[in-house]
Chains A and B, each alone.
Chain A
Amino acid sequence: LSDQTAFQTLDRIDAQVKGIYSAIKSGQMLGGRYFLYHDARPENFLSDDGNRVTIRAPWEFSLGSSDDECRNLWAAAYTTINRANLFLDGMEAGGNTVAGAKANEFNGEAKFLRALSYFCLIQLYARPYWDGNGSKRGLPLRLKGINGPGFNELAPVNVGEVYKQILLDLDFAETNLATTVADITARTTRAHRNTAIALKTRVYLCMRDYPKVITEANKIVSATAPFKAPSGVAHALAANITSLFSGASTDLENIFSMPFTNNDAPGTQNQLGHYYRPASSGGNAIFSLNPAGVIGDATWTKTDDRRKLVDTAANSKSYLKKFNGGAPWLDWAPVIRYSEVLLNLAEASARGNAAVDPKAVELLNAVRNRSDKATTYTVASFASAADLISAILQERNIELLGEGSRGIDILRLGLDFPTKTSGGFTVSAVPSTSAAYIWPISSDETRLNPLISN
Chain B
Amino acid sequence: QNRVITGKVTDEKGGPIPNASVMIKGSNTGATTNGEGAFSITVPASAKVLVISSIGLSAAEVTIGNKTTIDVSLKSLDKELQEVVVVGYGTQKKSSVTANIVTVKGSAIADKPAPSFDASLGGRAAGVQITIPNGVVNNPPVFRIRGTNSINLSTYPLIVVDGVPTFTGDVSGTLAASNALASINPADIESMDILKDAAATAIYGSRGANGVVLITTKKGKRGKAKVVYDGWAGWTKPTRLWDMMNADQYMEIKNEGLANLATPAAPRYLPTPGPDGQNINTNWYDYAYRTGFSHSHNVSISGGSDATTFYFSAGLTDQQGMILKNSFNRKNIRFNVDHRVNKVLSAGMNANYSNEYNKAAANSGSLPGAAFASAGLARLALTLPPNISPYKNDGSYNTNGNAIGPMNNKETIGFWNPVPIIDNNYSNAENDHIQGNVYVQLKPIPDVTLRTNYGIDYLNVDNRGFNTALIGDGFPTGSSFGNLQKNKRWVWTTTAQYDHTFFDKHTVSLLAGTEQQRTTNEGYGLSRTQLSDPFYNNIQGGWLTNNTSGLALGENYLWSGFSRLNYDYDRKYFLSGSFRRDGYSAFADGLEYGNFYSFSAGWDLAQEKFFANSPLSRIVNAFKLRGSYGTSGNISGIGNFASNSFYSAGYYNGAATLAFSQAGNPNLTWETSKKTDIGFSFGLFNDLITGEVAYYKNDVDGLLLNVPMAPSTGMPNNPLTNIGAMYNKGIEVTLNASPVSTKDFRWTTSFNYTYNENKVTTLAPGVPFITSVTGLETVNITMPNYPISYLYVIPTAGVNPATGQRIFVNAKGEKVQYNHAAAVGARYTYLDGTLAPAIDAGKDQVPMYNSIPRFYGGFDNNFNYKNFDLNVLVTYQGGFYVYNGTQASIRDQRFWNSETAVLRRWKKAGDVTDIPRVVYGDNVSNGSANPISENVQKGDFIKLRNVALGYSLPAKAAQKLGIANARFYVSGQNLGIITKYKGPDPEVSSNGNGNGNQGVDRNSVGNAITMTVGLTVGF
Contacts and interface: CB of A to CB of B under 8 A. Distances in A.
Interface of A: 1-3, 6, 12, 15-16, 18-23, 25, 48-53, 57, 60-62, 64-68, 71, 74-75, 78-83, 85-86, 139-140, 142, 146-149, 151-154, 185, 189, 259-264, 278-280, 282-285, 326-328, 423-428, 430, 434-436, 440, 442-449, 454
B646 A21 contact: no
Nearest to B399: A279
B659 A327 contact: no
A446 B837 CA distance: 18
Return the 4 tightest CB-CB contacts between A and B, nearest first.
Answer: A279-B401, A82-B714, A443-B842, A19-B659
A263 B651 contact: yes
B547 interface: yes
B711 A75 contact: yes
B646 A263 contact: no
28 contacts: A15-B658, A16-B657, A19-B652, A23-B659, A50-B895, A53-B372, A64-B839, A74-B711, A82-B715, A85-B714, A142-B712, A146-B714, A263-B547, A264-B650, A279-B401, A279-B403, A327-B476, A328-B529, A423-B921, A425-B921, A435-B838, A436-B824, A444-B711, A448-B710, A448-B766, A449-B712, A454-B840, A454-B842
A21 B928 CA distance: 36
Interface string B919-930: 011011000111
Interface string B619-659: 00000000000000000000000001111111111111111
Contact of B841 (A6, A64, A80, A185): A64
B707 A149 contact: yes
Contact of B776 (A53, A78, A424): A53
Given A64-B930, A285-B412, A448 B652 contact: no
Given A62-B929, A259-B652, A327-B475, A15 B657 contact: yes
B470 to A, nearest CB: 12
B766 A326 contact: no
Contacts of B652: 18-19, 21-22, 25, 189, 259, 264
Contact of A152 (B766, B778, B895): B766
A21 B657 contact: yes
B713 A142 contact: yes
Contacts of A22: 650-652, 657, 659
B843 to A, nearest CB: 7
Given A15-B657, A50-B921, A425-B920, A142 B414 contact: no
Contacts of A64: 838-842, 930
Given A51-B414, A68-B776, A327-B475, A264 B651 contact: yes
Contacts of B650: 19, 22, 264
B660 A3 contact: yes
Interface string B546-563: 111000000000000000
Identify which of A16, A146, A148, A443 gathers the most chain B CB atoms within 10 Å of its CB.
A148
Given A1-B646, A142-B713, A284 B767 contact: no
Identify which of A74, A85, A282, A327 gathers the most chain B CB atoms within 10 Å of its CB.
A327
Interface in B124-167: none
A441 to B, nearest CB: 9
Nearest to B473: A268
A80 B652 CA distance: 14
Interface string B693-724: 00000000000000111111111100101000
A282 B475 contact: yes
Contacts of B962: none
B477 interface: yes
Contacts of A12: 658
A49 B263 CA distance: 20
Majority SS of interface residues in chain B?
A: loop
Given A282-B401, A284-B402, A285-B401, A426 B261 contact: yes
B14 interface: no
Identify which of B401, B412, B646, B652 gathers the most chain A CB atoms within 10 Å of its CB.
B652
A126 to B, nearest CB: 13
Contacts, number: 256
Nearest to B770: A447
Question: Interface size for chain B: under 10, 10 to 19, 20 to 34, or 35 or more residues?
Answer: 35 or more
A13 B376 CA distance: 44
Contacts of A74: 711-712
A51 B892 CA distance: 11
Contacts of A151: 709-710, 713
Contacts of B414: 48-51, 284
B414 to A, nearest CB: 4
B711 to A, nearest CB: 4
B713 A78 contact: yes
Contact of B721 (A86, A140, A149, A283): A149
Contact of A424 (B258, B644, B842, B929): B258
B219 to A, nearest CB: 49
A434 B843 CA distance: 19
Contacts of A278: 401
Identify which of B401, B646, B649 gathers the most chain A CB atoms within 10 Å of its CB.
B401
Contacts of A57: 929
A66 B793 CA distance: 13
Given A49-B414, A86-B660, A149-B721, 7 more contacts: A1-B647, A16-B647, A263-B547, A424-B921, A428-B823, A435-B825, A454-B840
B778 A66 contact: yes
A151 to B, nearest CB: 5
B719 to A, nearest CB: 6
A18 B712 contact: no
A152 B713 contact: yes
Identify which of A75, A82, A430 gathers the most chain B CB atoms within 10 Å of its CB.
A82
Nearest to B411: A423
A85 B713 CA distance: 10
Contact of B714 (A65, A78, A283, A434): A78
Contacts of B657: 15-16, 18-19, 21-22
B75 interface: no
Given A2-B647, A424-B258, A152 B709 contact: yes
B894 interface: yes
Contact of A279 (B402, B645, B715, B837): B402
Contacts of B768: 447
Contact of B713 (A49, A68, A146, A443): A146
A407 to B, nearest CB: 16
Given A423-B268, A423-B411, A440-B842, A16 B659 contact: yes
B712 A445 contact: yes
Nearest to A443: B842
Interface in B232-286: 258, 261-263, 265, 268
Nearest to A24: B652
Contacts of B476: 282, 326-327
B923 A284 contact: no
A304 B748 CA distance: 88
A2 B659 contact: no
B840 A440 contact: yes
A83 to B, nearest CB: 6
B400 interface: yes
B495 to A, nearest CB: 39
A353 B825 CA distance: 38
B59 interface: no
Interface in B711-760: 711-716, 719, 721
B966 to A, nearest CB: 56
Contacts of B656: 15, 18
A7 to B, nearest CB: 10
B545 interface: yes
B510 interface: no
A436 B823 CA distance: 12
B973 to A, nearest CB: 37
Nearest to B824: A61
Contact of A3 (B548, B647, B823): B647
B1017 interface: no
Contacts of B268: 423-424
B301 interface: no
